[in-house]
Amino acid sequence: MTPSTRPTDAYAEQPVTRTVQELATDLDRGLSADEARRRQREVGRNEIAEKEEPLWHRVFRRFWGPIPWMIEVAAILSAMVQKWEDFVIILIMLLVNAGLDFLQEHRALNALKALKKRLAAEVVVLRDGRFQTLPARELVPGDVVKLRIGDIVPADVQLARGDYLLVDQSALTGESLPVSKNAGEVAYANTIVKQGEMLAVVVNTGERTNFHTVVSLVAKAQLEERSHFQRMVIKIGNFLIVITVALVLLILMVALFRHENFIEIARFALVLTVAAIPVALPAVLSVTMAIGALNLARRQAIVSKLTAIEELAGVDVFCSDKTGTLTQNRMQVADPVVFEGHDEQELFVTAVLASREENQDPIEIPLFEYLRDHFPDVDLSAYRQVHFTPFDPVRKRTEAEIQAGDWRFTAIKGAAQVLMELAQVEEARAKTIQKELDALAAKGYRVLAVARAEGGRVELIGLIPLFDPPRADSRQVIEDMRAHGVQVKMVTGDNIAIAREIGRMLGLTGRAIRPHELKGLGNEELFLLARIVSKGILKRLSPEVDETEAERFAAQIVDEVEKAFETAELEGGFLKAHESAIIRVIETVDIFAEVVPEDKYYIVDTLQKADHIVGMTGDGVNDAPALKKADCGIAVANATDAARAAADIILTAPGLSVINEAIKQARITFERMKSYSI
């Protein structure tokens, strides 16, 4: 076997049998220990390679550059004119400034380490015909692994045997709900198994996994990049150096021309140089930012990178993750739909009876909460679950046989289409229910249908829409940011319908797009282009054709193009837009939906290229690259370790209102810094 260069998603397009053949493995015996060792020598360990800068280089770098050069020259000149007190003070300033900078970078380097720790530590793998527990770093392509509830997927795999897995892949995509996967589909490294058990074939490991993309993007956001204010200070320093050198040369030339005492003139020139160099500038700026950081800490915003304060003061565009940042990251019941002949209490009692609270399923938790809040007098102890059948993606429903005294029935909840078939709903009523479903789907709600089966008859009771609600203060925070001149954009991995509905609740009512629409022509633009081109070609070939015939011909061509999209022969966005056009789109769009970490990084990077100072808020591993790339990254309360490590500011209180307080404080601090510098 030679190391695979195929992307993980390519394996989802072929049967498992072909993958097994390509990787020369066996689903019943796995690889032999000798073969696994040989493959590991070829492809390396299943881990992210450490590429740390040597400690000596990190220390030395603090003393290299325009600002350190100014201070070092001032120290040398002070020693030359034997002003030892000045020499000691300048040296202390140089060391203190370098030390503070070193500590800031040391904290920032934890971003990559936090991401690397996310990989699974151990895994159950089939080797030599028997299952054994091995460190995840020992996996190689072709290994057969067992994935169970609670496991972190240790590498990119193709699912081979078993019923199904319910996988939380929010670390990569930002989706608020787990995704169901069956045999033949792929699961990615660092995602979490929430339900099910399956055998899987490892297809990519280490730096070939999709998760490595997240890590490489964090690394790509250079740690040594200087802030806007730092670059301005360096320009001031460079200007002063040039002016000082010019003055010294002028003084020396005049002294030589006048035949004055060269030693005295040289001493005067050295004193002038020391006085002209702003040796206290870096130290004063650091102290000013440290005081600003202390004030922010009192407002429950911890600053891990001092330069973030002046960046936050200048932020004019704020990109925010949705799930867990603008929203609560917990499902909530929207307005339920109760069918005729039933009531709301009956709907939720039946739904809860078809659930198990101890499973802590994110879909079922809000059902129990709603019942307790709205119908506190209901006594569930009067009902006994005789038999419980959990949800699976084939049957698409959960069932429970219930005994309540002499009354025995089956409580059912699940996909609306499945329950409508079970209830044998007549056509007219089915159309009415479908309209309700379409209206809820347009808002991006996850809908549960609830039914009761008794005596061989299934009766629909109603529909329960679920959604991840916004935080209580999110809308006000966005309005306050706009009042401060900051444009706010939502960037989410959830589908565009959910994004639009949450955006409406938050006052983000502008345009919403998907990534492929961002980088190329959208469907509507392409259809318009097809209409124009087809009419032009027809009239060129047959000038006698009238406008009506040309329109008819163009309509046929557009129909063919639409069919190509529906059959996936073409993808929206395959015609690339110019970078200037992309920048214009990003600047005007309010909501970006169905994005992955690379898209978030790209959006932030593009805004920066357009001379915007960009802030970013997030809470997940998938937000880490964009948090690191942004001029000021803010991790919200309860964020993952990776997000906290990548961020410049960490919020310690729930909600986002502290961000506006941080902006006000940062602007006050920035004004103080600017006053001193100028």
- 3-state SS of 632-644 is EEEECCCCCHHHH
Question: What single DSSP character describes residue 573?
Answer: T
Which ranges of 375-514 does DSSP label H, i.e. alpha helix?
Answer: 416-422, 427-442, 474-483, 496-506
- Asked if residue 157 lies in contact with residue 204, where contact means CB atoms within 8 angstroms, the answer is no
Run of H or E including 212: helix 211-220
Instruction: Determine if residue 589 is left, alpha or beta; phi over 0 gives left, psi from -120 to 50 gives alpha, anything else beta.
Output: beta
Task: Give the number of other Cβ atoms within 10 Å of residue 85's Cβ.
Answer: 8
Which ranges of 523-656 does DSSP label H, i.e. alpha helix?
Answer: 523-541, 547-566, 579-588, 597-609, 624-629, 641-646
- Asked if residue 496 lies in contact with residue 593, where contact means CB atoms within 8 angstroms, the answer is yes
Catalytic status, residue 321: yes
Q: Out of 321, 468, 623, 648, pick the active-site residue.
A: 321
**Distance between first and last Cα of the chain:** 65
Question: What is d(CA 524, CA 529) in angstroms, rounded to the nearest whole number?
Answer: 9
- Asked if residue 586 lies in contact with residue 530, where contact means CB atoms within 8 angstroms, the answer is no
* CA neighbor of 630 nearest in space, from 650, 651, 602: 602
Q: How many residues does the chain have?
A: 678
Establish how many alpha carbons lie within 13 A of residue 559's alpha carbon, considering only the half-sphere containing its beta carbon.
Answer: 6
Angle at 494 between CA 493 and CA 500, to 5 degrees: 120
462, two tokens: 């109603």
* Residues tagged active-site: 321
